[in-house]
Chains A and B, each alone.
Chain A
């Protein structure tokens, strides 16, 4: 079968099981969009900005486990993808970015809309390709999907010059592929596993630290079995949220800068830390030289370069989390005898619970999250967050039951991620109630996507925790910069006095309800605590369409507890 390059891309995507692409047209990808015009098996979602398209594909990928696909044109279209690709790279998300490029004979001539996107994205992709020969297109797409989804997943970019889309060749898609240069290790070394089991059985104060690797390898069931069989307490990183149910008695929440006090104490006092699919990010470890000083470290990861990068490891196990846990689980029949340790942890849990000071006169953001727990009970929910305080409050208080239920930009911390990621998740899961926790700052980084929500009639719910501040930066300025609120008030205009009124100021800008209405969406505003539950129910449960809900929250509420950056994680500030 002789096909054009554009048709080959589409046929190859179908072979990979792709049913949706997020794509923004432009000069060099016109041939591809032309071929998509009559295509029935692939749905095209057109965002309003390529960055958002990238995050939408990312949300699609995180919520389903299947690679997300985004298409952009050459030059600015491609460079607009950079933040979305970097976000996916930091969180190990399988993303396929297809970019148009100028014609092959124009490459390197500073042609119109030319950018060296493979050069630009080397450090933020797992791999990338420039395909100059249409005969290599099908094989390259196969390789790209293989690389994106095997081993530690990640984004792969395929740059295709516009003439390659138009050139014709015989299409045949390879069924399987082997790359001599890429063979990730899936099975853990049996000897290392035996050693790990011995270390676990000998430990008196063990703790599990599980990360995004559990979600990536769909190892949640195996992890839960490991916890049940051994009785070892477990903390998950932000990326590992949902790997274990929120109400599991052995679950400690997440550790680190804004994690629970008891998770941090447990890590610091443990004698054995079993790290599975996590990478000891600085937001988790705090001061590394003080981190879990008394603990031996077992590190299970599919990416050898994660092991020993930050924290010295006593026992490395390279392998896929699911396979390694299945093997380890075979060695355990009865729980470890660690009552003293569990009692100690339970005392910490009782003494230092996750809490906030509620107030009848203002709306506390944590209260909003709790109301969401209440009104969405029993529904199939997916939550996404923007970045900053909204992200931390959501992550602290939301009750998660399953993996892929909570999507957040953990590594890169990308403001503007949550809203489009929610769109991607809603497209992939039409039956789910998808709720975006946003801040008034971060929502504005991709606010144009309200048009996408409207166009595709997505019943997405966006909750803006609106304090009119870039709240997390303001919190740092309050705690570490003598309340010098530089650049963080989003309502501040040139008529404002130099010394602003801070909390007392009633200026809010923009009017998100009007913005929603301008895009043809329903807008809601909540200003009183007694209205929170009623309006959220109306907007999220009764209303079957999209809703933009502007919740005016306590202006200077802080995320607590907090470990100052670079401090040991048991050095905790608690100001409520």
Chain B
């Protein structure tokens, strides 16, 4: 997808803050592709990583509106800053009556781990960028995807070298 932007938002770790942030996106008509949230090194602060779709003008407004929320401490847009970003993903595939040799090769290439094999399905764990996860899923389609659970992207700034 084009026009994807990764934005990190530091917010007060209080009840109701997540709904204020997600409500803002809904009420202003912005599209959230993914949102993940967790505590930071300071337990009073949560960090959200939001992947948003939109042109520069929309992203500018998204950032301003996020900043406007009283509980927002800081907003960083990784559109023009280099960052490391990954997504965590579980993929359950149908393996009944199938040869999984090819699948294990694909897993090796992507660094994915097979973490559970049952009678009918196999479960794979993958930690990769959003783009790589999508590539993997495309290849996995041939095996019949039963179920997917994705965490959404998390990102952190890359330090100067």
A residues lining the B interface (CB < 8 Å): 118-119, 122-123, 126-127, 130, 147, 179-182, 303-305, 308-309
Contact = CB atoms under 8 A, between A and B. Distances in A.
Interface string B69-96: 0111100000000000000000000000
B73 A180 contact: yes
Contact of B67 (A130, A180, A304): A304
Given A181-B73, A308-B60, A309-B61, A118 B67 contact: no
Contact of B27 (A123, A127, A304, A305): A123
B68 A130 contact: no
Contacts of A118: 16
B16 A305 contact: no
B73 A122 contact: no
B19 A303 contact: no
B70 A126 contact: yes
A66 B12 CA distance: 28
A155 to B, nearest CB: 12
The 8 A-B pairs with the shortest beta carbon distances in the complex, nearest first, are: A305-B64, A127-B70, A181-B73, A123-B27, A122-B23, A305-B68, A182-B70, A304-B64
25 contacts: A118-B16, A119-B19, A122-B19, A122-B20, A122-B23, A123-B23, A123-B24, A123-B27, A127-B70, A130-B15, A179-B70, A180-B73, A181-B11, A181-B70, A181-B73, A182-B70, A303-B68, A304-B64, A304-B68, A305-B64, A305-B65, A305-B68, A308-B60, A308-B61, A309-B61
Contact of B71 (A181, A304, A309): A181
Which of A123, A130, A147 counts the most chain B CB atoms within 10 A?
A123
Nearest to B74: A181
Nearest to A152: B68
A181 B72 CA distance: 6
A122 B19 CA distance: 9
A22 B50 CA distance: 41
Given A123-B23, A123-B27, A181-B12, A305 B73 contact: no
B71 to A, nearest CB: 6
Nearest to B23: A122
Interface string B36-79: 00000000000000000000010011001101101111000000
B8 to A, nearest CB: 15
Contacts of A182: 70
A168 B27 CA distance: 39
Interface of B: 11-12, 15-16, 19-20, 23-24, 27, 57, 60-61, 64-65, 67-68, 70-73
Contacts of B57: 308
Nearest to A151: B68
Contacts of B65: 305
A270 B62 CA distance: 31
A180 B15 CA distance: 18
A305 B60 CA distance: 9
Contacts of A130: 15-16
A118 B14 CA distance: 13
Contacts of A126: 70
Contacts of B19: 119, 122
A94 to B, nearest CB: 14
A482 B11 CA distance: 53
A93 to B, nearest CB: 17
A195 B152 CA distance: 43
A268 B16 CA distance: 45
A305 B24 CA distance: 13
Contacts of B64: 304-305, 309
Contacts of A123: 23-24, 27
Contacts of A309: 61, 64
Given A179-B70, A180-B73, A181-B71, A305 B23 contact: no
Nearest to B57: A308
Contact of B61 (A119, A127, A303, A305): A305
Contacts of A147: 70
Given A179-B70, A304-B64, A305-B67, 8 more contacts: A122-B16, A123-B27, A147-B70, A181-B12, A182-B70, A304-B68, A305-B68, A308-B57
Contacts of B15: 130
A303 B64 CA distance: 9
Contacts of A305: 61, 64-65, 67-68
A147 B19 CA distance: 20
Contacts of B68: 303-305
B24 to A, nearest CB: 8
